[in-house]
Amino acid sequence: MQAFIVALIVIGCTAYAVWTLMPSAARRALAQLLLRVRWPDRIARVWRREAASTGGCGGCDSCGDAVPRDSHTIKVHRRLPR
């Protein structure tokens, strides 16, 4: 019985690690695939949120339109030998 509980914990931790380290596009596709199965509402809500997520950039697709920051001049202050 103890080995079975440990196996469940290891499987759960592995699933969590794989889900966390998975690229967001793959996570989104897997969540959409999992939504095809009938789940309890609490679990389905998580899959729906993941399937609708746009990733870390917010999904605006305007990265190419970004205005560059003002350039700053770098001053190098050399130490004088003693």
- Looking at per-residue confidence, does 16 or 57 come out higher? 16
- What pLDDT sits at residue 11? 97
- Three-point CA angle 48, 52, 55, nearest 5°: 130
Listed range (10-24, 33-47, 62-76) with the worst mean pLDDT: 62-76
Q: How confident is the model at residue 17 (pLDDT cuts 50, 70, 90)?
A: very high
- What pLDDT sits at residue 1? 93
Is residue 43 within 8 Å of residue 14, measured between CB atoms?
no
Q: How far apart are CA 32 and CA 29, in angstroms?
A: 5
Q: Is the pLDDT of residue 79 over 80?
A: yes
The model's pLDDT over 38-57, given as tens digits with 9 standing for 90+, comes to 888 888 888 888 888 766 55
